[in-house]
Structure 1
């Protein structure tokens, strides 16, 4: 084997950690990119694009995330049922007030691959609106960026 060959990660070599990120006062997009990189494992030297090398991330205080500019009132969250007249629109201010966990989850989910691997990676993301989370048994480390 060549000494300069690229080493690919194997599933039994991957060691996963748990991180807690406090979203209080963080900008949504910058938070989402950092979390997406941790979930994919891009911050590790053993990163392989075809494997799930990432760590678990618990985001707390999702209701205190910040959007810059006029995005709270101008940006719209749209869902479409598939039926005539089934388009629903909601401003991000209302979306943040009603479902802050879903707002943060969708921001991160949009930054990971849109395939089966991305679906598997997204299961390692846990988002909570308040300060409490039920993952204390995993001994998560506080992640600062």
Structure 2
């Protein structure tokens, strides 16, 4: 019987660019989460960081279906009594479009140390420009 291959040590990840312009929020977030976890590679091993870095462009132009633009609400709490804050998806896309993608991707990653480490590999920008040209990112097809 052959032994199972387990990648060891720190793997150098590649850099990918995802253009979220007119793409459905959930579908693009799923694809990003798969790349971050390394599930698109044949060397994927649960609990081992084999994923790549992802740069998301045009986060402010992401699309949603139905009435989510007005009905979807993001909640936050200041920690003080009566400190519940809410903001709709439409307002969030105007003010902080990166948080919309980050929130959707975070919901699809493991909620532990590994998931927090993977979130650091996600770079989201509302516009078409990014400062990561030195990493030679490739466009996701």
Q: TM-score, normalised by structure 2?
A: 0.96
**1:128 matched to 2:125:** yes
**1:100 matched to 2:97:** yes
Question: Matched residues in 2 for 1:121 and 1:102: separation?
Answer: 16
The number of equivalent residue pairs is: 141
User: Residue in 2 aligned with 1:49?
Assistant: 46
Matching residue within 7, 19, 26 for 2:5 = 7
CA RMSD, Structure 1 to Structure 2 (Å):
1.0
User: Residue in 2 aligned with 1:69?
Assistant: 66
Question: Matched residues in 2 for 1:124 and 1:138: separation?
Answer: 13
Question: Matched residues in 1 for 2:9 and 2:107: separation?
Answer: 25
Alignment gaps of 5+ in structure 2:
none
Question: Matched residues in 1 for 2:71 and 2:99: separation?
Answer: 19
User: Residue in 2 aligned with 1:90?
Assistant: 87
1:61-82, Cα deviation, whole Å (9 max, x unpaired): 0010011110011111001122
Aligned-pair distance for 1:90?
1.0
Alignment gaps of 5+ in structure 1:
none
